[in-house]
Structure 1
Amino acid sequence: MEPPEHRHWVYNRVDERGKHTDEFLYGVEEFIRFAGKGDEGRKIRCPCVSCRNLKQHIPYDVRKHLYRKGFTKDYYYWHCHGEERPQVAPINVNIRMTSNPYEQMVMDAAGPSFNEHSVFEEDPNPNSAKFYDILHASQSSLWDGCENHTVLSVAVRLLSIKSDYNVPSACVDEIITLINEILPANHRMPTNLYQTKKLIGQLGCGYQKIDCCVKGCMLYYGDAIKDKSCRFCKEPRFKEERVRKGRINKEIPAKQMWYLPLVPRLQRLFSSNATAKYMSWHIDKYHEEGVLSHPSDGSSWKHFDQAYPEFASEPRNVRLGLCADGFNPFGLGSRPYSCWPVIVTPYNLPPGMYKRREYMFLTIIILGPSNPKSRIDVFLQPLIDELKILWQDGVLTYDISSKQNFTLRAALLWTINDFPAYGMLSSWQTSGLLGCPICMGSSKAFHLKHGRKTSYFDCHRQFLPEDHAYRRNKQNFQKML
């Protein structure tokens, strides 16, 4: 976004000496006067990098946040504080700007160039049709003649109030019932909290919480979904039931993992003109000989296309990369804990897109307290099943750029991880004498004479050229051992 002439100060926070610039200090005061309407006790949305207009503070605290962290990205026009954006003529006929923020929210979920007025050569498949239904809800007034609210805007406001003020679900149901009684007979208001959540839930792609064995032996998934104990270690699936006031509480799983299905996220890429046209970018792009600018220039991609020409014949088929690693979400100084996210990235997109956070799909969250070690394949089971479907049969997907349904297939080509995680994902023991996955059984590693630790010292000379002076110089390299 190009900054307006009078707002260049917004991201000119400090000078070369690390001190706040005068124009930034004056600009912050201008923002406080505009947002707070001159009332120092009135809470306003904080546009700092951390709060991002989601939290409200008094002007004094907002000043401190802006001095320390600066404004959130591309906030040249203060639209969250009542300032109207200037009207700009659209550059692309496919890009549709809307003044309805809730309709724009639906557009953002699909992509910035989503075009709901396209003439369909084929009817969208049922999964894609759900998205068009919620877009219709964002445009439908609450009742005929209502100009202030749509069905979606009311649903979002209700859930926002429930979250902000911790309102019980039963109370929200009573409020919705009262509103239904007040509204005209032709209203489109949801009838209860369940219907409200169901409407908003169509914006996302869903998730699953899958019970698993506390020792990581198995998932209660597929044919084992009704089991009450582990088939291997016999550990119970649920925690001990506690009787309270004569009633038995709901069964609580001893351990769970989160799974976010991959297929809906790949299908969503084809629901927007902003991304659908780039899913075959690797075919149309200019290839410079001898320059590796994208994975499609690499030998592994080209070898895969030669090995599976049927898959390569459809340029919209997706090549995927998988990344996994563990971290302690509570900080290094807290108790030991290991949380493992698994992220899948589609590499059909250009380099400037697939490296962005929104195209790195979080698919699995494996909770601790310890890392899954060699049993990580157990937790990957739902993702593997989905990848098998994408590889063997494919899924019916609607492509907005061609306005046709097609069978989407995908293949996992790479994994990205550090060396310990490599051993977990590949089941290759990365420690000991055979720890090198390149040398394997030909490794020249040895145990130290006194400490008995594994050493790979001097194993590099075997990779030198045959005529290199150091290749056979064993005496000078090993005399210290």
Structure 2
Amino acid sequence: MTWVSLPKYSEAYSNGVTDFIQNAFDNFATGSELRCPCKDCSNRFWFSEEDVYDHLVSNGLCPSFVNWVYEVSTPKFKKVDQEMDCDSGMVLGEDFDKMIRDESRVRNGMNDTAKRFYKLVEEGKQPLYPGCEQFTLLGFVVKLFLLKCTHGFTEGAFSGILKLIKEAFPDVNLPSSFKVAKNMIRELGLDYQKIHACPNDCMLYWGENLNLTKCKFCGVSIWKLPKNRTDAPVSPDLEEKKSKVPAKVLRYFPLKPRLQRLFMCKDYSKLMTWHALERTKDGKLRHPADAEGWKSMDANHPNFTADPRNIRLGLAADGINPYRSMNISHSTWTIILVNYNLPPWLIMKPENLILSTLVPGPVYPGNDLDVYMQPLIADLKELWEVGLQTYDAYADETFMLRSSLLWTISDFPGYAILSGWSTKGKLGCPNCHYCTSSLYLKHSRKVCYMNHRKFLPPDHKHRFDTRRFNGKVETDVCPPPLSGKDIEELLHGYENYFGKRDAKKRKRGADCLFKKKPIFFQLPYWRDNLIRHNLDVMHIEKNICDKIIGTLLNMGGKTKDHISARKDLQEMGIRKVLHPIKIGDSNRYEIRAATFDMMKKEKESFLHYS
């Protein structure tokens, strides 16, 4: 296929795009639309034939889909379903067909889970009807599920569509209802668990609490109560007649079957060892495996490192508003796992991110997030201590898969929720911890963190610069960060109190500034991790850039150089040239422009009102 490398304005390129679109729409289109493989869309969005042609001619082809386009453009092309499994991040199209092709090659050495999986695949690849070459049973069901999720079909509508198709085409090999179709997908490991939770975030009805009907901490029922009902006792006969709806439901996507499924595709299984066998090792930071945190894990746990197929994960958590209208105050927390075994160009692809937990809203859980992470931590602990028997399609063998959690990723408020250390107040710096240098600004009404020069080398010239800073020579040294072992010793015997039931109990242990003992310390290796929590780049870049640009351009509402800041400088007795000058007996102040202010030269001062 030579047209991809040709100039986009050439006639040969245009003809190649036309041939590709004609073949692709014959085999891949859903209705009159196709996923566009241009650079901007990257096979994520659906467009009509004309729009796809315009995108490919104007934007060009995304490099990731050159091989796929080549297969589509080949005259001997055979149908491949290219749908995404939104639940797990696995491709159920090209990669899934590779699993099916590999299935006929591998039989010996498979464990029972793999044999059962391939048996289900064998049943799912049956033609939709006798002689059908376009769809398999599983491929068609996945397409229907995608349409259901995309267009918001109800379960009744989904079952009605299946019933109508079977009535119109009696020979079609389709499930009879939504429930049967869902069971078919569930058998392939694409299911999730519904776990009831206390509406006050005290506990999960899970594990030893599975059979309880009331919270053992606050006494609130597991079920929703009618609006006109109080907590007064109700007779058992009447209670049985009431329709029972759970008050709060956690949705957990089991981790172990998802990790097993990564190794059932030959190509994915090969990529899972890329970090050890194919990575360029020249001392440059190109992959998390080049970082000190990864190397520290390898040095502390050589048995885990011995098999490169063992998976290193990162945990990202943040709150989202699932509603389009931002006027609705709602916070649903998602916990997503990042697979770091893959090459760097695949790690952050949406299809390779593993959705682990959905914590329901509308109120964000805060420090009680640990309650909802119990199933995930239990799986991670078992994957470390026991392992999971997994079939490797690339090596054609069964091995014990283990997994570890390297670190978490969040914004700064999320850092406090995951680590247990409050990121607000006088000791709000997790790195400086008890040695944080802070000052409350009276006029700005906020806490400012000072003495940043202590992080500089002892002989740095800025340490001795008194005019540009606080008028003093900086003699403090950089405080050592708290290691995992230090935190574990500080929190020894600390008792967590979760839920919104008793605020006084949560203040126990006032001598310790941690709000809780993080659940991550249940993992045997967490105390040895060099880096346990990370801040995401997006918030840091955006917030810092906004404040710097707003201050340099003196943008109203965004600048940090305002009248309150100038009064705080006067209160501190530093940078006298920037102090505000009061005009007469009024409340008006005149302030001189700072040297960093990019204002017009003829304007040397502004008048502000206090």
- Kindly indicate whether residue 267 of structure 2 is the aligned counterpart of residue 274 of structure 1: yes
Q: Unaligned stretches of 5+ in structure 2?
A: 84-90, 229-237, 472-568, 573-610
> Aligned partners of 2:298 and 2:266: how far apart in 1?
26
Matched position secondary structure for 1:44: coil
- Kindly indicate whether residue 79 of structure 2 is the aligned counterpart of residue 99 of structure 1: yes
> Aligned partners of 2:297 and 2:201: how far apart in 1?
34
2:360 to 352, 355, 367: 367
Letter in 1 for 2:419: S
Cα deviation, 1:78-129, whole Å, max 9, x if unaligned, reads 99xxx974236xxxxxxxx85364999565347679612224331x223222
Cα deviation, 1:405-461, whole Å, max 9, x if unaligned, reads 11100110111112111111000111111111111111221223566632113x211
CA displacement at 1:71 relative to structure 2: 10
State the match for 1:239 in structure 2: 224
> Aligned partners of 1:357 and 1:101: how far apart in 2?
18
> Aligned partners of 1:478 and 1:84: how far apart in 2?
67
TM-score when scaled to structure 1? Answer: 0.74
- Kindly indicate whether residue 193 of structure 2 is the aligned counterpart of residue 208 of structure 1: yes
1:335 to 328, 332, 336: 328
The aligned runs of 1:18-417 (5 Å cut-off) are 44-45=32-33, 85-87=73-75, 98-99=78-79, 101=81, 105=92, 108-109=95-96, 115-122=102-109, 124-141=110-127, 151-152=137-138, 167=156, 194-240=179-225, 248=241, 250-331=243-324, 333-417=326-410
Distance 1:399 1:455, change over 3 A: same
State the match for 1:40 in structure 2: none
Letter in 1 for 2:203: M
Letter in 1 for 2:103: E
Cα deviation, 1:156-185, whole Å, max 9, x if unaligned, reads 6887899988656876797799799x66xx
> Aligned partners of 2:391 and 2:209: how far apart in 1?
33
> Aligned partners of 1:467 and 1:84: how far apart in 2?
64
Counting aligned pairs with the same residue, the percent is: 33
Residue pair 2:198, 2:248 contacting (<8 A) in 1 also: yes
Larger Rg: 2
Residue pair 1:114, 1:273 contacting (<8 A) in 2 also: no
Distance 1:321 1:378, change over 3 A: same
Residue pair 1:324, 1:341 contacting (<8 A) in 2 also: yes
2:456 to 441, 459, 464: 464
> Aligned partners of 2:464 and 2:374: how far apart in 1?
48
CA displacement at 1:148 relative to structure 2: 8.0
Residue pair 1:172, 1:193 contacting (<8 A) in 2 also: no
Matched position secondary structure for 1:471: helix
RMSD between aligned residues: 4.7
Cα deviation, 1:333-369, whole Å, max 9, x if unaligned, reads 4122212211111211111221211111111112222
CA displacement at 1:54 relative to structure 2: 9.0
Cα deviation, 1:53-96, whole Å, max 9, x if unaligned, reads 99798x99x799979x98996899999xxx974236xxxxxxxx
Letter in 2 for 1:326: G
State the match for 2:477 in structure 1: none
- More displaced 10-residue stretch of structure 1: 404-413 or 101-110: 101-110
Distance 1:116 1:255, change over 3 A: same
Residue pair 2:158, 2:177 contacting (<8 A) in 1 also: no
CA displacement at 1:385 relative to structure 2: 0.6
> Aligned partners of 1:401 and 1:77: how far apart in 2?
21
CA displacement at 1:155 relative to structure 2: 5.3
> Aligned partners of 1:255 and 1:374: how far apart in 2?
17
- More displaced 10-residue stretch of structure 1: 350-359 or 45-54: 45-54
CA displacement at 1:140 relative to structure 2: 3.2
CA displacement at 1:219 relative to structure 2: 1.4
CA displacement at 1:6 relative to structure 2: 9.9
CA displacement at 1:392 relative to structure 2: 0.7
Letter in 1 for 2:297: F
Residue pair 2:100, 2:122 contacting (<8 A) in 1 also: no
Distance 1:169 1:266, change over 3 A: closer
TM-score when scaled to structure 2? Answer: 0.60
Residue pair 2:162, 2:174 contacting (<8 A) in 1 also: no
Matched position secondary structure for 1:402: coil
Residue pair 1:77, 1:85 contacting (<8 A) in 2 also: no
- More displaced 10-residue stretch of structure 1: 45-54 or 314-323: 45-54
Distance 1:63 1:210, change over 3 A: same
Residue pair 2:80, 2:93 contacting (<8 A) in 1 also: no
Q: Unaligned stretches of 5+ in structure 1?
A: 13-22, 37-42, 89-96
CA displacement at 1:325 relative to structure 2: 1.4
Letter in 1 for 2:223: F
